[in-house]
Chain A
Amino acid sequence: MKVSGFTYIPLSIVLLVVGALGSLFIGRYPINSGDLFQLITTGRHDDQNLGIILYNIRLPRMLAAIAVGGALAISGAAYQGMFRNPMVSPGILGVSSGAGFGAAMAILLSLPATGVQLMSFAGGLSAVFSAVAISRSIRQGHDPLLVLVLAGIIISSFFGAMLSILKYVADPEEKLPTIVYWLMGTLANVRMEDLGVVLPVVALGSIPLLLLSWRLNVLSFGEDEARSLGVHSGKLRIMVILCATLIDASIISISGIIGWVGLVIPHIARFTVGPNHKVLLPVSFLFGAIFMLLVDNLARTISSLEVPVGIITAIVGTPFFIYFLKRSSTRSWE
């Protein structure tokens, strides 16, 4: 049976809701459905711990997994379309290196959690803006996409080097492990207040991306052809970069650097629903959210010591991706 790509949207929403509810039950502290029902409907339960665990630990964590997975996947899908390149991930313009440097700086300065998030957000933004500024200053006579990618690589390695300096001078007993652990990426430290700030920013970046998705399709023919079809590629690029950077910088500021999702989930989504960004972008978001939920549930239950989720994404994701690659009948790239 041939299924239209759009049917995957309600299908994935159902799967996501089931997964999200399910993950509220998963964890070291046992909660059964009766307890949960009572707690949600009456707002009370004999067991004092239950409310704390649900509202302060499992709910924010579940929401964080959805936001982080969805955000990284949708921005990755938009970037792959914009750069017309399957090797592109959200970090291509330096947002993760910049964010990593910002966070490490804040940790060195012993700032509180909010300070680390703000510095990381600012670091991510400044890295991408520097990359865009560099590419614009040397655009004349070059392929603008190529210059942009090169500028991104240069900026990434610059911030990478700056980060190394910070690690080198960091106190190896206390600061260095904190930096290293932050860089691995985890959802364990996400609080409800953080989500209150980050979720609106993710929405602010995602909605324009969804609205621009038709134009992203047209851009896949290249600069000139897109122009002949009425799409101003330069302006469109800036809008996509702005949205994706807002999404990624805010997400990284609460989760640290989680790789793999933004690179591979868009591919899996493309195998499944085809290249039309009108379907591909929402489905990437949903697939990313589902995947992250699954992986985070694994991360917090696999052993008594929590494994950073950024490690699990790659370990679980690799066979997952190979399976999809083998199964896909049409090539999704020319």
Chain B
Amino acid sequence: MTTSEGSSISKYAAVYVALLVIMGAQFLIGYQNISGGQLVTRFFTFAVIETILVVLFFMNLGSEKPLFIKFVVYFTLFVLACMNYPWTDSFRLLVFRLTGFSPS
């Protein structure tokens, strides 16, 4: 094995260990008795870090052409952002169900 091949496997191993640590932290948080909002915030933060690590290093997007990276990132983020329009409606439904109010 050449030095560069060995170093790239070391890089993958380091990312693997980092992902294991992050997942371990998520499991620890899962067992804690904290509010839903805090859980979502922490899990989302960890998920973003995991995504960056996996996409850049494991899927090797970081070694592609900058134009292609921009295309993938911008397009995917735009679509994901567009999917988040119904949250206000879910909170409205929650309030209706908690208060027993039914809009006529």
Instruction: Tell whether A pairs with B.
Output: no
